[in-house]
Amino acid sequence: LLVESRAQGHALKVESAYRSYEDQARVFATIKEIGRAARPGHSEHQLGSVIDLRIPTGAAIAWLQTTLRSLVLSKVIQRRSSD
């Protein structure tokens, strides 16, 4: 996804990925906006199953939405054709 985004002229970057319990506690304690960070022990970052992306422009957001829709649709089609 990152390679393709760069090829399309969008500089997406991984802002955050896996976080330990201690890292999540630090993030939770320092985030000022309620709901922007999960309590330690409740974050999918601790499972290593999510990433936060830095998306620099509105055009990059639009590209990402279109690309992710295509990827999800492709997976659904693959799954249905294998049933």
pTM, to two decimals: 0.67
pLDDT value at position 1? 87
Strand partners, 52: 16
- Give 60's contacts (C-beta < 8 A, 6+ positions apart): 5, 10, 11, 12
Which alpha helices (H) appear in 8-57, and where do they start and end?
A: 21-30
Q: What angle do CA 69, 72, 81 make, to 5 degrees?
A: 135
pLDDT in tens, 29-42: 999 898 889 999 99
